[in-house]
Structure 1
Amino acid sequence: MFTGLIQALGKIKLLAESQILVSLESSSNSQIILKDLAIGDSVAVDGVCLTVIDILAQGFVAIVSPETLKRSTLGQLSDRYVNLETSLRAGSKLGGHFVTGHIDGVGRLQSSVETINAWEMKFIAPHTTDEKWERQIAPYIVPKGSIAVNGISLTVADCDVDGNWFQVAVIPHSFNETNLSHLKVGSLVNIEADILGKYVAKFLRHGSNNYSVLPPALAANSTVNNLKDITPEFLTENGFI
């Protein structure tokens, strides 16, 4: 689990079909990422959760599956900058939002405009010939909702009704300290929708006629027939509030 707050930039190189090398060019970046890193740890590389299998003086080697290369930009980013974040530790501050490192799809930058206080960036949501895959992300893109672009926790400022595109306002610090500053119009990006939104959507989609999505204590209560029966009063009576 990650927060979407980028700690450092690195460069990647495909070593083999199932391995990538992440190089850290500066000593400060090396200290941030490698300080407590151990073999078997998870690191988000441009938003993709990867497992470390070797640690070097100025970087690390991670394993990557063919499915990950297919569903993300990692197979196309050799010798380009990537955002890095080590996994969230118990007791750490959660400054962004819950990011799993499981990419929903690859989108692309449509425009990037510098304003007085921010960079307004517009992205096209994942487009693919697999319609089922494309529909998996659009329903979770909502105004003021959270979204991760290349592993960066961002807030959706605007989007169309279907979620085919969305816009974010990126503060100068986030823009300059991540690889957003290296993107050009048409650049591909990894996109992960908010995990909380996915669970809520599933609950609302199936909850009215499917007890399996309810907590056991609620599912076992004979008075719960559908979501409308779950009121604040009901939750209080059953010890949930």
Structure 2
Amino acid sequence: MITVHLRLFTYSLKGGLVLKRWAIFIVVIFVVGLICNWFWKELSPNQYGPLADVTWKTNGFPNTVHVHLEDEQGRPLAKTLLTVYTNDDAFDFTTNLQGDAKIVCSGQVLFGIESQHRTVFSKSLAMYTGSPSLADGLDFHIVAKRPDLISRGAGIYEEMKREEELLEVLKKNEEARKTADVSADEGATPPSDENDAEEPAQPNTDSEDDSTPATKDSSGEQ
């Protein structure tokens, strides 16, 4: 009985050690995976977040950053304040009516981009990885998932859309009014020549009446 208990204890002890080794191995793999994923995100030309999806590429002129901002339907977001952070300073610029903005920055790498003071792009290890580099210029395409939070252009677009709809309604009303006026002019009865012409003079019946008795008198005398 004592021997059996010792073997079970030894087996359970070995099993416990094996489980601990596997647990350590799993933890190490998990940590390594997180580090690799972190570096991949830092080096990847794509970044997906809750506010926006960002894609960038090397393009343009040295130290020049171009940004195109739009919503998920492809509509440009205008009049939106963007802030670019480099290892040298922060630079502000605003998108135009086509959702584009371009600015010349100083520095070697770009750390992040904010839209209306909300972070949409971030590279915390840019100084160590050297990416994104400003040496050959950068071209960013930002698709806003929450344009109501990161862009004034969403409200401006809706306002412009309402103005366009109002102008369209006014245009249709004007065309309908012109059509009604033309139809009214075509349906009007033209003035007749008979109405415009002067009525013929009526014969003088009094003179006829006066002459008739004279004729009778003369005939009676004969």
- Give the TM-score, by structure 1 length: 0.28
Q: Which has the larger radius of gyration?
A: 2
Give the alignment's TM-score, normalised by structure 2: 0.29
